[in-house]
Structure 1
């Protein structure tokens, strides 16, 4: 059980993640994180995952998902599922914070967020190129729309 004040917090620029399940309780089949995207938060470079599904459930606010060259605005109550191989990114384009619950099956992508946190703590800027280098550790490659 993870209570409201529990979980591992990871701050990546204007995004705050709270890891609710890092895979240690699910045999590494599932990871779950709550993400709070500040207003006007750009997303990661568009990318494709080779080894995991990613799900996003919008709790509050609105998040723009870009899949290939198509934009979709997801509001509270919307579930977005991204299968392996689908090019995608997301951003908060609004003046309000957005909160979403993300799932990773299997859990391997949770460590990606920890690696980004360590990179920033080590003094390296979170540029798109640095982000892509970390993504590649987790069977994820950049995609061009």
Structure 2
């Protein structure tokens, strides 16, 4: 696991035309992180440079978390991922506490969508909402690169825990993954 500790820049983004008039969150309406009229510092947009993020290698999948719970107050996590040919990213499983959205940038990703497998290329999106079985692998001959959004955030902790266990000498087995998944309300799904 590697944390790229480069300076993260904040940009003050205060454009009233972009604010929702239906929002009840004071930060979106020019307030502060602590409520309307509070004396705290106004929220600022977070700009992450291409090298900013946390790299976590787990079972042949390169995860590069650009945003984690720490950056988004737990709202969501966002990563870039890579899979080399022949790598199983995740066998079919089901999440009970978060949704995942996979977007393919390069290569051909084989997705389990609950009904079976389908291979998709750049521009395809899979929305794996809570309770829906899904999985992914690279059955092709080229590296796959994609994006994944987790909402709410927190599942990045699963990858950190598996990475730490492997770094301490544990072997990646279905039992090990099931143990860690259970901590994040995730279960295996029969194929």
Alignment of 1:94-109 (within 5 A): 94-109=140-155
User: What residue in structure 2 maps to residue 35 of structure 1?
Assistant: 81
Report the secondary structure of 2:70's partner residue: coil
**4+ long deviations beyond 4 Å:** none
Q: Is 1:74–2:120 an aligned residue pair?
A: yes
- Residues 60-100 of structure 1 deviation map (CA, whole Å, 9 limit, x = unaligned): 11111112341121211111100101111100001100001
Please give the alpha-carbon distance, in whole angstroms, between the structure 1 residues aligned to 2:152 and 2:168: 28
Instruction: Give the root-mean-square deviation of aligned CA atoms.
Output: 1.1
Give the drift of 1:45. Answer: 2.7
Relative contact order, CA 8 A, sep 6+: which one is greater? 1
**Aligned length, in residue pairs:** 145
- Residues 21-62 of structure 1 deviation map (CA, whole Å, 9 limit, x = unaligned): 112222101001110101111132311000111000101111
User: What residue in structure 2 maps to residue 92 of structure 1?
Assistant: 138
Please give the alpha-carbon distance, in whole angstroms, between the structure 1 residues aligned to 2:177 and 2:91: 8
Report the secondary structure of 2:86's partner residue: coil
Please give the alpha-carbon distance, in whole angstroms, between the structure 1 residues aligned to 2:124 and 2:68: 23
User: So what's the TM-score if we normalise by structure 2?
Assistant: 0.73
User: What residue in structure 2 maps to residue 14 of structure 1?
Assistant: 60
Structure 1's unaligned 5+ residue stretches are: none
Higher percent of residues as strand = 1
Aligned partner (choices 51, 62, 65) of residue 5 of structure 1 = 51
User: So what's the TM-score if we normalise by structure 1?
Assistant: 0.95
Report if the CA contact (8 A) 2:83-2:89 is conserved: no
Structure 2's unaligned 5+ residue stretches are: 1-46
